[in-house]
Structure 1
């Protein structure tokens, strides 16, 4: 009797252990661990983060989205520490954060330099057709009289014109526009104020890529002047992610986003969010519409 009791107790213990092991296995499965997507909290990056998140969720992974409301440096630190799996960023901003005096200018050069400088285990995905590179904006009438076609030839414009800009130009941006021989700088203006100053040919202006896409649409009096090889460094939208967190299916999803998402898309979605729309809903609609 004692022997039979012993075996019964042993069987119960084995069954209990097996059940516990099964529960632990389920709790530790990939499906129970969210892929953590974050952003710096700006409207455009909240939108981009949600677009990446919705595309990743379609691969069957559980995605959790939060807004860090911090700069790229903090997001990079959190990714390196394993606290964030993916966040969107512009390549030029990343390179400036990672490198004291970057010299890369073109999209490929900047992306290569960023990848070399990223913390171990952190990488970037394919760039989308979304650029926030700062652009020179000039009155169409001034373009017509000077024949200016490329930023590198900006010296054909009259010297000493004030340069009106949104935000505050970085030292790299100042150097990039020096070819235009501008006079004083009037900074921290709104995009509308920049256009008003430039429209009468008495000033030059600068706008970021997103600002230009949102402001110059339908404008005939003011145009943007760009150059592939001159001007401020490229600012292409990329996903920054922990390589160990992204599998083949997720990589394909990120590449599909890169092939579809444009500057105009981000501007349009950002405008909706700025007016009160939920970025998750707006991004979900975009992903569904584009079949990403």
Structure 2
């Protein structure tokens, strides 16, 4: 029969073991949940899922919050911690007078203009989300910089699934007048009917797209904007790895899938798996 003294010793050992186990488990617990935000567009939502799932694979507890009407304000207020963004759009917001046009210049200018407490991931060099500028087939103009803007009526339209944006300013260009169209299809009809002489669309568009090798339109590369100090080096690298794999063509494919009914989380998971992330 076990004596009372032995029972007390055994109980003390069990208690000590439990305390050590709890301390060990507590050390392995993930930190606070990192919320990745998105507006209501397929582009923003699927990118938020990609960033969230990439971070989750690095051991970060994450959540995705979509349908935000003022995501930058939510980021500033701490309601979200990470936000997919476009480099040029951020510069247009924080320093629109900046002369930076090319990708590296724009990212450097955004970093210089960042509000306190915010940081950037690497930019996705393989993405080019500048507006597509289209003209009638008979137009003699071949490049954006050669447009006789003061003589032209411009049309603007959004592409389904792409993040909404204000009409992209063209360096040194001020159109005579402008017209908003409900769709890229209606914009193309406006070109055919000569209602407009040039069109700008924030995504893929059929027609003759003008070259812009000198970045008359400010560069628009994807990146992640996040609250400073929330990631260690390993997790910050995860965001940079994502940037290294994103391309314009890949994003278009992802948006098409989501617009066709694929759940954004499923599309993101398949993309991450395909790219070994």
TM-score (norm 2): 0.79
Deviations 1:73-95, CA, capped at 9 Å, x for gaps: 313313xx4x4332101112222
More helix by share: 1
Residue number among 247, 262, 265 corresponding to 1:277 in the alignment? 262
Aligned counterpart, 2:161: none
Alpha-carbon RMSD across the aligned residues, in angstroms, is 3.3
Residue number among 151, 154, 161 corresponding to 1:160 in the alignment? 151
Q: How many residue pairs align between the two structures? A: 265
Identify unmatched segments of 5+ residues in structure 2: 159-163
Is 1:139–2:124 an aligned residue pair?
A: no
Aligned counterpart, 1:187: 180
| Secondary structure of the structure 1 residue equivalent to 2:146 | helix
Task: Give, in angstroms, the shift of residue 188 of structure 1.
Answer: 3.6
What is the CA–CA distance in structure 2 between the aligned matches of 1:169 and 1:65, rounded to whole Å?
A: 22
Counterpart contact for 2:181–2:187, Cα < 8 Å: no
Task: Give, in angstroms, the shift of residue 175 of structure 1.
Answer: 5.9
Identify unmatched segments of 5+ residues in structure 1: 217-221
What is the CA–CA distance in structure 1 between the aligned matches of 2:38 and 2:27, rounded to whole Å?
A: 26
| Secondary structure of the structure 2 residue equivalent to 1:37 | strand
| Secondary structure of the structure 1 residue equivalent to 2:169 | helix
Aligned counterpart, 2:198: 204
TM-score (norm 1): 0.75
For structure 1, which segment, 167-176 or 111-120, has the greater mean C-alpha deviation from structure 2 after superposition?
A: 167-176
Deviations 1:23-54, CA, capped at 9 Å, x for gaps: 47745755253332222232210011111222
Counterpart contact for 1:132–1:235, Cα < 8 Å: yes
Is 1:258–2:254 an aligned residue pair?
A: no
Residue number among 90, 104, 111 corresponding to 1:108 in the alignment? 104
Counterpart contact for 2:155–2:179, Cα < 8 Å: yes
What is the CA–CA distance in structure 1 between the aligned matches of 2:16 and 2:93, rounded to whole Å?
A: 51
Counterpart contact for 1:194–1:205, Cα < 8 Å: yes
Counterpart contact for 1:75–1:87, Cα < 8 Å: no
